[in-house]
């Protein structure tokens, strides 16, 4: 099911894209988007969704080229027949005027050296806007819910929150009132309340301006509450398309059904073994008392008390800026806390920490693409902590590395590969293996699934559950995604403004949240039940 191409703003027909070496990556993709409609292109990493959507901008990443098909913008003579056949100079004039783009990372999409008003106004100036540029800048910032006073306009990107940065990017994309906008995972990495605000902004602008929107995502819960239609991509082909309700409630293709099954659901019952608690486990493995951290006059952590029991997973939940990563890094010894005490197995965690204490608490970072040295093989990266923190000889280190790769379901062939040759999920498995190689008592996982698509996320969650079950490792799982709670955790601690505002078992917190902030997080969590 597709939009009628006679009424569509943009239509793509038979799009084929291949590498310069001749390997085809898109195999005749069709899509059409009507005025005021949002078409979600969904699929795993490598499915071709970004390549298909960027073609609407006449853009193909380095090493790729169009080998067939057409893209037409209806209602404009310059692009009516085929955008892809136009000279590059003409296409440059189309981008930002008839079709615009909102990239994934708000921090990287804005020039750090330019003020906010300059960032938006240069888009208008570049395309010969004939009206009052300053007035239009204020108008479009107001449209996305941002302040329009001189103080805000004179700020630099680093002075804005992630959500504000993303809304500036959206404002710039809509400044010239384009016919088509391509949004590339614009809420990845944002907390649920900020994500909800950005999605509401997108929906409102698309509806009011009658813009046709292509929304690239792997998050089907977001699709359920935002899009009008869905095109599911696998292996460079559209395998299923239809309305949101049709695709999400009655999927026909097995790949679509697999994607839906992998979406975390707050309402889904999950069977798990009971973790030890204070009633039957003796002393906690890790205890935090009165932890505090300040940066100049700003208090980031204020009197944090936490306990983590052997074999338990505690979810540390909060929005961006709540202090959860600061707390996690303090527990792992990656930064010094200003106040409070930490104990492991009843013994104080020293500063600096002994080798034994460093071995006992290990950290898995958020980005699977930045956390491994690109110039080291996977085996070499895993060997580093063994060489520095243990007295194992070379043979024992090699055996330990291979055993740990097996534990995270990577075979021996991965030992001699480099991070650049691994997928995001494989890199994250390797990062988890590196953290586990010293047999720690506590594993701190900092947003380890936020950059992964849902099926890879599900596999990483399963892996962490296996690690807990087979190795008995306790985990602190830092996240802003409360939808993962039943899949991951035994208990939840909710952090707001550097303070723990609620703690309890997963069932207690989800079924009967006591704090208004927890209730707000739950209300803003995307759900598959929102499918129209």
| 212-242 pLDDT, tens digit each | 999 998 888 889 989 999 999 999 999 999 9
- Contact at 8 Å (CB) between 314 and 477? yes
pLDDT at 1 over 50: no
Structural fold of domain 286-527: Rossmann fold (3.40.50)
Give long-range contacts, CB 8 A cutoff, 24+ apart: 30-33: 30/2, 30/238, 31/2, 31/214, 31/231, 31/238, 31/241, 32/2, 32/3, 32/4, 32/5, 32/8, 33/3, 33/8, 33/9, 33/180, 33/212, 33/213, 33/214
- Distance CA(26)–CA(64), nearest Å, equals 10
Q: What is the pLDDT of residue 368?
A: 76
Distance CA 385, CA 380 (A): 10
Q: How far is CA 519 from the centre of its chain?
A: 22
Tell me: pLDDT of 395 over 60: yes
How far separated are the first and last CA of the chain, in Å rounded?
16
Q: Take residue 204 and report the two structure tokens written for it.
A: 């409102």
More confident residue, 42 or 267: 42
pLDDT of residue 475: 96
Is this model's pTM higher than 0.85 or not?
no
pLDDT at 94 over 60: yes
Structure tokens at 244: 């949101």
Of 320, 316, 295, which is closest to residue 305 (Cα–Cα)? 316
* pLDDT at residue 111 greater than cutoff 50: yes
Q: Which of 389, 321, 40 is nearest to 184 (CA)?
A: 40
180-184 and 99-102 strand pairing: parallel
370 C-beta neighbours (distance < 10 Å), count: 12
What pLDDT score was predicted for residue 230? 96
Average per-residue pLDDT for the chain: 89
Mean pLDDT value of segment 485-497: 93
Per-residue confidence (pLDDT) for residue 329, from 0 to 100: 93
Domain with CATH 3.40.50.300 in the chain: 1-98+178-261, 286-527
For tokens 């899949």, what's the residue? Answer: 487
The mean per-residue pLDDT over the stretch 490-506 comes to 95
- Tokens for 367? 């980005």
Q: Please report the pLDDT score of residue 248 as a whole number.
A: 93
Q: What is the pLDDT of residues 286-321, one digit of tens each?
A: 999 999 999 999 999 999 999 999 999 999 998 888
Residue 467 pLDDT exceeds 90: no
The CATH superfamily label for domain 1-98+178-261 reads P-loop containing nucleotide triphosphate hydrolases (3.40.50.300)
Percent of the chain exceeding pLDDT 90 equals 61
Q: Which residues pair with 444 in a beta bridge?
A: 363, 476
Question: Is the pLDDT confidence value at 274 over 90?
Answer: no
pLDDT score of 409 = 86
pLDDT above 60 (res 79): no
Cis status of the peptide bond prior to 352, with omega within 30 of 0: yes
In this prediction, residue 364 has a pLDDT band, given cuts at 50, 70 and 90, of: very high
Give the residue, 321 or 328, on which the prediction is more confident.
328
- CA nearest to 337, candidates 293, 305, 286, 283: 293
**Calpha distance 493→503 (Å, rounded):** 4
Confidence of residue 328 (pLDDT cuts 50, 70, 90): very high
Report d(CA 446, CA 171) in Å as an integer. Answer: 31
Whether the pLDDT of residue 528 is over 80: the answer is no
pLDDT score, position 12: 93
Res. 388: pLDDT tops 80: yes
Residue 4, pLDDT above cutoff 70:
no
- 433 and 466 in contact (C-beta within 8 Å)? no
């Amino acid at each position: 099911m597709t939009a009628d191409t006679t009424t569509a703003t943009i239509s793509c027909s038979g799009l084929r894209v291949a590498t310069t070496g001749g390997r085809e990556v898109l195999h005749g993709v069709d899509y059409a988007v009507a005025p005021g409609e949002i078409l979600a292109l969904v699929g795993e990493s490598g499915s071709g969704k970004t390549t298909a959507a960027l073609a609407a901008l006449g853009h193909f990443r380095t090493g790729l080229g169009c080998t067939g098909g057409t893209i037409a913008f209806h209602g404009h003579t310059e692009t009516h027949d085929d955008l892809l056949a136009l000279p590059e100079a003409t296409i440059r004039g189309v981008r930002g005027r008839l079709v615009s783009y909102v990239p994934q990372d708000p921090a990287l999409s804005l020039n750090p050296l330019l003020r906010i008003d300059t960032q938006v106004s240069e888009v208008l100036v570049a395309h010969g806007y004939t009206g009052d540029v300053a007035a239009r800048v204020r108008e479009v910032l107001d449209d996305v819910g941002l302040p329009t006073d001189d103080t805000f306009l004179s700020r630099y990107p680093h002075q804005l929150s992630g959500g504000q940065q993303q809304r500036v990017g959206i404002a710039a994309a809509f400044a010239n009132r384009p016919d088509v906008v391509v949004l590339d995972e614009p809420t990845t990495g944002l907390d649920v309340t900020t994500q909800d605000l950005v999605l509401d902004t997108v929906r409102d602008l698309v509806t009011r301006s009658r813009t046709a929107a292509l929304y690239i995502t792997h998050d089907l819960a977001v699709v359920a509450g935002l899009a009008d239609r869905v095109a599911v991509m696998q292996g460079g082909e559209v395998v299923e398309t239809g309305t949101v309700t049709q695709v999400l409630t009655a999927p026909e293709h097995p790949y679509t059904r697999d994607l839906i099954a992998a979406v975390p659901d707050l309402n889904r019952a999950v069977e798990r073994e009971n973790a030890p608690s204070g009633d039957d486990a003796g002393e906690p493995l890790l205890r935090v008392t009165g932890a505090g951290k300040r940066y100049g006059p700003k208090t980031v952590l204020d009197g944090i008390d936490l306990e983590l029991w052997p074999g338990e997973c505690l979810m540390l939940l909060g929005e961006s800026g709540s202090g959860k990563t600061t707390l996690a890094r303090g527990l792992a010894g990656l930064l010094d806390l200003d106040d409070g005490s930490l104990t492991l197995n009843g013994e104080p965690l020293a500063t600096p920490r002994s080798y034994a204490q460093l071995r006992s608490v290990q950290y898995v970072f958020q980005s699977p693409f930045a956390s491994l040295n690109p110039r080291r093989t996977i085996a070499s990266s895993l060997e580093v902590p063994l060489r520095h923190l243990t007295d194992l000889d070379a043979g024992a280190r090699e055996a330990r590395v291979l055993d740990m790769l097996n534990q995270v379901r990577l075979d021996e062939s991965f030992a001699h590969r480099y991070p650049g040759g691994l997928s995001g999920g494989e890199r994250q498995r390797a990062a988890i293996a590196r953290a586990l190689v010293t047999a720690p008592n506590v594993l701190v996982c900092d947003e380890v699934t936020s950059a992964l698509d849902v099926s890879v996320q599900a596999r990483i969650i399963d892996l962490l559950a296996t690690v807990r079950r087979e190795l008995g490792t306790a985990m602190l799982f830092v996240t802003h995604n409360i939808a993962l709670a039943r899949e991951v955790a035994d208990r939840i601690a909710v952090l707001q403004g550097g303070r723990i505002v609620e703690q309890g078992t997963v069932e207690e917190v989800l079924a009967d949240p006591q704090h208004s902030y927890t209730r707000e997080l739950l209300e803003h969590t995307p759900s598959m039940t929102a499918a129209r």
